Structure 1
């Protein structure tokens, strides 16, 4: 159980330091990951930036994720769910384009229009506050891998064991402090799991706390 996201980030940072992990850049998935990623970046002496993805909602049920797409168009589809619902290719293309644009807009707001850093040959750590379905994490990891990073690590305080196992195919290394079999939702492992505002997230990104 973590007190809050900052506590989780400090514990995660200590674990990564103990493992001797090296990083050139740490990427937080907005908004909730930024309070976690800030202590990690500080401990590893790495630049902190963001990698953004958006869930692709089902027809008439936007909360049900058919997959996720990153700001560069890197996409992950939940093929089983898509097949069960009989979702058309035309709908998938439309929602992918729409949410990719939303992700780009969000990334631009966080970076104030700056481009995503060049990951070619870089050691990159992607941080989230926890992993449930892994939809957005998968899309984010694919963006970083496609950008020719030398080594990609996913680091989270807590996650679903099954999802984390699946994510091992998307990254060179997956590190989680807690992998409880009783996992239901990320928030159950935090005493304080309140919303993080855009302003708060940007403050963490700029070096605040």
Structure 2
């Protein structure tokens, strides 16, 4: 017996690999050809894989920043950097090669469900060698679910630079005096980034040969 997936869905792979945060003792170096991206992904809802995807222009190199995991085998939900504030989610503190980038997609991977936006959008930012760039807060709100599976969500995009900078300094001591350039307009708040959601559910059907 084998299992064939109906509605095989590979969007997560197309969005690129998850870009992990730097080590806690990370320091910026001006001659490295890389810079630091700072931001946050927070959420109200069940533990899942909440992500935003980026591309480097003009190449098609891509990746994604993510909080949580899509599939949880062992029921272990690690604490995020905002836990003491009563907020679910994680800080983004990732190193990328210098250049121009665009964030143009978000997603929620939750077991068999995959949630994505319905309208195009673009958030531009630049990575400067030896510098830190703030890209904003992406806050996911669960709109519907089946048990613990998220089947609907919306995303708000806003400027939380002061809060996120304080969290960065707390968790990354070597970056406590770093000046952060913001790619986000001060006080910006965009509701329903990318419009309403579209959900695809992958169902495994056993087939006997």
TM-score by length of 2: 0.28
Q: Which of the two has greater helix per residue?
A: 1
Higher relative contact order (CA 8 A, sep 6+): 2
Structure (1 or 2) with the greater strand fraction: 2
Q: Which is greater in Rg?
A: 2
